[in-house]
Amino acid sequence: MQLLKDRIRKDGVIKEGNVLKVDSFLNHQMDIALINEMGREFRRLFPDNSINKILTIEASGIGIACITAQYFNNCPVVFAKKTQSINIDGEVYSTQIKSFTHGRTYDVIVKKAFLSPEDNILIIDDFLANGCALLGLIDIVKSSGAKIAGAGIVIEKGYQQGGELVRSKGVRVESLAIIDEMDPVNGCKFRDDN
Ligand code: 5GP
């Protein structure tokens, strides 16, 4: 998505530790017009009319998912919650996710009542790096018996293993920008740049 790549070039900041900061338009302050275009693009990439729910993970995925849902017949958005104390009363699906940016491992939960075998789920997230977050969400959807229509990712760091890992499991992943190389001096090199 050209608009997004231009914006990453203009406002993205490459930090130590292989982290791209996009907090001026995505992860802290949010550019709604840009995210609206992302929603429109996700719809173009996933025209499947049977998608009836979007799943994401707190916190940064929520805004993107909510705007995207408006292009999917205003379907409900469910966000997986990060928690310290796992609820073991059987009411939730849970999985463990290692955070790329914080290095910590979280228990992540979704209430069972909000996912069912009749659902066809589109997963939305901001970044795909090592794939832990996405694999965790896939794990939760599989536990519920729901179908996975695919995953829509805003920024995929294509030189990390996540994309390959998830695609090798047969899950369709569509990323709006794929970064193949990134360093503070030369900036970002995108997959389809010449
Ligand atoms: P993964 O689980 O695929 O390793 O990482 C995905 C999660 O880590 C995303 O939900 C995102 O919050 C965070 N993340 C990974 N890489 C980056 C990055 O370069 N910049 C930012 N801002 N977040 C990242």
> Is a pLDDT exceeding 80 seen at residue 128?
yes
Report the phi/psi class of residue 43: left, alpha or beta, with left for phi > 0 and alpha for psi in -120 to 50.
Answer: alpha
**What percentage of the chain carries pLDDT values higher than 70?**
97
The CB of 173 under 6 Å from ligand 1? The reply is no
pLDDT given for residue 45 in this prediction? 98
- For 64-123, write each residue's pLDDT tens digit: 999 999 999 999 999 999 987 766 667 999 999 988 888 889 999 999 999 999 999 999
C-beta of 108 in contact with ligand 1 (< 6 A): no
Whether the CB of 133 sits within 6 Å of ligand 1:
yes
Based on its alpha-carbon atoms, the radius of gyration of the chain, rounded to whole angstroms, reads: 16
* Nearest CA residue ID for atom 16, ligand 1: 129
Q: What is the pTM of this model?
A: 0.96
pLDDT at residue 194 above 60? no
Q: For 136-164, b where at least 16 C-beta lie within 10 A, e where not — what string? A: bbbebbeebebbbbbbbbbbbbbebebbe
The reported pLDDT for the residue numbered 101 is 80
For residue range 31-40, what is the model confidence (pLDDT) as tens digits? Answer: 999 999 999 9
**The pLDDT of residue 90:** 78
Report the atom number in ligand 1 closest to the C-alpha of 60. 12
Check if 115 has its Cβ closer than 6 Å to any atom of ligand 1.
Answer: no
182 lines ligand 1 (CB under 6 A): no
The alpha carbon of 132 and the centre of ligand 1 are apart by a number of angstroms equal to 9
Q: Please tell me the least confidently modeled range out of 45-59, 92-106, 127-141.
A: 92-106
Q: How far is the centre of ligand 1, averaged over its atoms, from the C-alpha of 52 (Å)?
A: 26
- Compute the average pLDDT of residues 158-178: 98
Phi, psi of 105 (to 5 degrees): -105, 130
User: With a 6 A CB cut-off, is 64 part of the ligand 1 pocket?
Assistant: no
The pLDDT score that the predictor gives to residue 102 is 82
